Amino acid sequence: MKKSILLLGILISCRLCFSQKNNPDKLSDQKTIFQTSSPWIPQIDVRSNAAIVYGANDRPGLSFKQRIKSWKDRGYQTDFMTGIAWGGYQDYFYGKWDGKMHLDQVQVAIHQDSVWHGYHTPYIVPVQPYINYFKEAVVKNVIDAGITHLFFEEPEFWAKSGYSDAFKRAWKAYYGFDWRPQDQSAEDTYLSNKLKYHLYYDAINEVSSYAKSYGKSKGLNVKVYIATHSLVNYSSWEIVSPEASLASLPGIDGYIAQVWTGTARTPTYYNGMEKERTFENAFLEYGSMVSMTAPTGRKMYFLTDPIEDAHRDWGDYKHNYEATFTAEILYPMVDDYEVMPWPERIFTRPYRLPHSDSSVLIPHYYSTQILVMINALNKLPRAENKVNGSQGIGVLMGNSLMFQRFPEHNGYTDPRFSNFYGQTLPLLIQGVPVETVHMENLAYPATLKNIKVLVMSYSNMKPMSRDVHQYIAGWVKKGGVLIYCGRDDDPYQTVMEWWNTHGNHFAAPSDQLFKLLGIKPRLTDRNMQEFKAGKGKVYVIRRDPKEFVMNENGDSAYIRIIKQAYTKDARAGKLIFKNNFYLQRGPCDIVSVMDESVSSRPLIIKGPVIDLFDPQLPVLNEKIVNPGQEAFLYDIDRIKDKQRPQVLASAARIYDEKITKQSYSFVCKSPLNTVNSMRILLPDEPETLLITNHQGKRIHTLEESWDNHSHTYYLSFDNDPDGITAMISW
C-alpha cells in the first residue's frame, strides 16, 4: 500500500461534488433501538435510532426528566419502557401513593410465598387500584414529559401463583363462584391460569387506551408497544401472559420479541437427549412472534442480547449471541431491532474470561464484533425471499399452552415442554423451516394462506373458542392437509370449557373438530389413521408429540407421515432434508449449520465475502461453516454500485458521508473504550489518509491495509462517541 499521509488541510480544501444524505443525527424512524436505565455516558453510546429510557422514577441527584434530556442532548429519539407486572412501584405498595398499603396485591404461590422480581419489587395482581396508579403515576407522568413511544414490558403472571386475597376476589368477580386452589385439580389449574391471562389482557387494554386518549388530549400521537417473551418461552418457563390476543387490541401498535440467550438456551429434548439447542430454540421463538403479529400488520422489533442475565464467561456469551442473532435475521420480513438491552452491563461490568476465574471488562475483540453486528442491522433490508428449504408446514399453537404447565395432575407430565418441541424440532433439525400458526389469528385469511400441511395437538393446549375448529375444518375441506397428534388422555381434556358446556357433551375438544370434518378416528388405535375430508386429508396419530423427541429415533414415523402429507397429499413438491439454513438478504449471506442433523458436512459459501462475525473483517475467498456454527457474511459481488465509495462494515455508525472524484470522507461514532474496525469500498488504493477527532486532533490508526482483489480498505482505530472524521483520497 502507498504510504499514508496525514494532512490536516485536505478535508477543508476539498471541493465536494457529491454529498450523500445520510445523517442519522436527525433520527425520525426507529429501525434500531436499545433500552437503558442509565443516563447517557460515553461508554454506552451505541448510536441506534432511539434510546428507550427505563423506569419513570427520580433518583438522588438525577430526575427522570434529566435522564431523558441526557439522551436527547446526544441526538437520540427518546422512548420509555417499564415493567407492567413489576417495577419500582414501592410508593404504591407501601402506602405513599394513596395512604393505603397494597401488599395484598402481590402474586402469591401455594405456601403463601410472595413472588418477587427483585428487592422490594413484587409481581403484581393487576386489579383496578393498581391499574389506576399505573395510569396516573407512570403513564401520565411520561406523556407529560413529551414521550410518545411507550413500551410496557413483560405482562407476567406466574403459573405457580394464584393464592393471594386479591386474586381470590378477582376469581369470584370473573367466574361468579368462590375461588378454588389450583393444585386441587386440572380444571382448577386451567381456570386459574385462564383468569391470569384475562387480568393482564384487561389491564393492558385499559392502560393502552388511556395512553392513547391522554396523549391525544395533549396533541400527541402516542404509540404503545408490548415487550414480551415468546409464547414458546412463557409456556416453557410456566408463565401466563396475554400474548397473541393483544395484537388485535386497538391500543397496541406492536411488540418487542424478547428472545435472547437466556430464553433460547433452555434445554429441550430431541432424539432422547436433553440439552441446550440455542439456535433451534431461538428460531422457533422468533417464528412464533412473527406468526403472532404478521396477520395483524403490527410492528415487530426483534431483540437479542450480547450477554444474558446469568453470570457466565465472555466466550459463552459470544457463542450463544451468534446463534440467537443468526436466528433473528433469518426472518427477512422483520427489519426493526432492539439491538441490546442494558448496554451499561455489557460495556461497563466485568465478567469471566473463558477457562478462567479472572473477570475483566468486555474484551475488545468481542465489543468490536458486537458493534459491527448491530451497525449492520441499521442497513439490513427487509426481503421477499425466504430461508432455503421446504416451505408451508405449520404447527398450531395458542395461548392456552400456558394454562397446563403447573402443577402436574394425575401423573401426566410434559417435561421440557416436549409436546410442542415434538411437533417442531424433528422438522427443524432436519432443515425444514417449520412455521408456527396461532389459533387466535385463524380469523385472518393470511394466517393459513401459505400453509400446505398443518400439524396440531391438544396434548398441551386447548381451543379457547369453537371458532378455531370452524376455520380449521373449512381449510381442510378446501384442500388442506391436517395431521393431528395426541392420545387425548391428559387431565385437561375434561376441564370446564365450551366443548362440554352449554349443550355440548364432547369428551375431548378434538371430538368436536372430528365431527365437523366428518371423520371418526379410533381413540385406542396407535397406528396412523387416514381420512378424506372434502378436498383435503386428515392424518391422526394417537401418540403425544413428546414421544417423538423424548425417545431415541422416536420421530421416524412422524417424519414419514409428514413426508407423505407434504409430497403426495398437498402436492407441495419434494420435502427437502438438510443440515443447514441459508438466506440471501440484500448483500448479506446468513447461515446456520446444525450439528444433530442429516449430515455432518459443512456448508461452503463462495467469496469474496466479508466475515461480519470476525472483528478483523477479513475478505474470504470462501467461508466454511461447520455443524454447530453460524455465519453472517457480506457478499462483495452483490454490491449494487461498486463505483461509489462506501463503508461496507463498521464497528461504528457512519454519518455525513461526502464524495468527490478523488476523495471520500465520513464521520463515525461509537462508544468510548471500544475499537473501530471497518472495511471500505474504494475505486482505487488510497494515497492519503487523514483521521481527526471532534477537536481536530490527529488520530493514529491501529491498523490499515489494502485488498486489491476486492478494492476494499481496512481501517482500525479507537472509537469516540463525539465522532472521528476520516478523509481518504486516491
Query: Is the confidence at residue 652, as pLDDT, over 60?
Result: yes
Residue 382 domain-assigned (yes or no): no
Nearest to 691 by CA among 660, 721, 670, 668: 668
One domain for residues 415 and 561: yes
pLDDT of 368 reads: 98
Give the pLDDT of residue 4. 39
Give CB contacts under 8 A, 24+ apart, made by 525-529. 528/557, 528/561
How many beta carbons lie within 10 A of that of residue 209, not counting itself? Answer: 16
CB distance 92 to 133 below 8 Å: yes
| Whole-angstrom distance, CA of residue 581 vs CA of residue 593 | 7
CB contact at 8 A, 405 and 241: no
DSSP string, 312-359: -BHHHHHHHHHHHHHHHHT-TT--EEEEEE-HHHHHSS-EEPTT-S-E
Q: What pLDDT is stored for residue 11 in this prediction?
A: 35
Instruction: Tell me: do 177 and 216 sit in the same domain.
Output: yes
Confidence check: pLDDT of 388 > 60: yes
328 and 429, same domain (yes or no)? no
- 650 in any annotated domain: yes
Span 590-611, pLDDT tens digits: 999 999 999 999 999 999 999 9
Q: Note whether 2 and 10 are within 8 A (CB).
A: no
What whole-number distance in Å separates Cα of residue 92 and Cα of residue 89?
5
- For the chain, what percent of residues have pLDDT higher than 70? 96
Q: Which three cell numbers stand for residue 545?
A: 408429540
Q: What pLDDT digit, counting tens, does each position of 340-359 carry? A: 999 999 999 999 999 999 99
Q: 656: domain range?
A: 10-21+640-729
For residues 329 and 589, give the distance between their C-alpha atoms in angstroms, rounded to a whole number. Answer: 10
Q: What is the pLDDT of residues 509-566, one digit of tens each?
A: 999 999 999 999 999 888 899 999 999 999 999 999 999 999 999 999 999 999 999 9
Q: Which three cell numbers stand for residue 434?
A: 417449520
SS3 558: helix
- The CATH number of the domain where 650 resides is what? 2.60.40.1180
For the cut 70, the answer to whether the pLDDT of residue 28 exceeds it is no
pLDDT tens for 704-728 read 999 999 999 999 999 999 999 999 9
In a domain, 606, yes or no: yes
Residues 496 and 627 in one domain: no
For residue 27, being part of any structural domain is answered with no
Residue 688 has pLDDT above 70, yes or no: yes
Task: Please say which residue of 638, 656, 676 terminates a domain.
Answer: 638
For residues 676 and 375, is the Cβ–Cβ distance under 8 A? no
Q: Sign of the CA dihedral 510, 513, 517, 520? A: positive
- Domain annotation covers residue 386: no
CATH number, domain of 464, equals 3.40.50
* Same domain assignment for residues 550 and 599: no
Whole-number Å distance between alpha carbons of 353 and 367: 14
Check residue 524 and give its pLDDT. 87
Q: Are residues 47 and 119 in the same domain?
A: yes
Give the N- to C-terminal CA distance of the chain in Å, as an integer.
11
Same domain flag for 554 and 609? no
Specify the number of domains making up the chain.
4
User: Which residues, 6 or more positions from 226, have their beta carbon under 8 angstroms from its beta carbon?
Assistant: 151, 152, 153, 155, 204, 246, 252, 254, 255, 256
- Grid cell in block for residue 234: 412463557
Q: What is the DSSP string of 254-288?
A: EEEEE--HHHHTS-EEETTEEE--HHHHHHHHHHH
Mean pLDDT on 462-466: 96
Per-residue model confidence (pLDDT) at position 29: 82
SS3 state of residue 515: helix
**Strand ranges in 377-525 using DSSP code E only, listed in sequence order:** 393-397, 435-438, 453-456, 481-485
Provide the 10 A C-beta neighbour count for residue 176: 7
Give the integer Cα–Cα distance in Å for 184 and 175.
17
The answer to whether the CB of 704 falls within 8 A of the CB of 1 is yes
Beta strands in 465-518 (DSSP E): 481-485
- Tell me, yes or no, whether 424 and 488 share the same domain: yes
What is the model's pLDDT at position 16? Answer: 32
**Three-state secondary structure string covering 207-236:** HHHHHHHHHHHCCCCCEEEEEECCHHHHHH
CATH code for the domain in which residue 46 is found? 3.20.20.80
pLDDT tens, position by position, 306-332: 999 999 999 999 999 999 999 999 999
- Looking at the fold, whether 627 and 688 belong to one and the same domain comes out as no
Contact between residue 240 and residue 156 where contact means Cβ atoms under 8 Å apart: yes
Question: What is the mean pLDDT of the segment spanning 11-16?
Answer: 34
Higher pLDDT, 245 or 621: 621
Which residues, at least 6 apart from 139, have a Cβ–Cβ distance to it below 8 Å? 150, 207, 210, 211, 214
Number of H helices and E strands in the chain, helices first, is 18, 36
Q: With contact defined as beta carbons under 8 Å apart, do 394 and 437 qualify?
A: yes
Position 25 pLDDT exceeds 90: no
How many angstroms separate the CA atoms of 179 and 483, rounded?
38
One domain for residues 498 and 605: no
- pLDDT at 246 (0 to 100): 87
Domain for residue 575, yes or no? Answer: no
> CA 437, CA 453: separation in Å to the nearest integer?
11
Task: Quote the CA–CA distance of 482 and 81 in Å, as a whole number.
Answer: 41
pLDDT of residue 527: 85
When the pLDDT of each residue in the chain is averaged and rounded to a whole number, the result is 94
Alpha-carbon span 71 to 65, nearest angstrom: 10
Q: Which of 590, 553, 293, 594 is nearest to 432 (CA)?
A: 594
Cis bond upstream, residue 433 (ω within 30): no
Q: Is residue 316 domain-resident?
A: no
Are 184 and 259 contained in the same domain? yes
CA distances from 715 to 79, 480, 670, 671, 726 (A): 34, 55, 15, 17, 10
Domain assignment present for residue 263? The answer is yes
- How many angstroms separate the CA atoms of 77 and 320, rounded? 30
Do 663 and 564 belong to one domain? no
Strands (DSSP E) found in 516-587: 529-533, 536-541, 580-585
Domain boundary among 591, 617, 638: 638
Q: For residue 325, report the phi and psi dihedrals to the nearest 5 degrees.
A: -60, -45
Using alpha carbons, select from 686, 690, 691 the residue that is nearest to residue 729: 686
Looking at 619, 638, 657, which one is the last position of a domain? 638
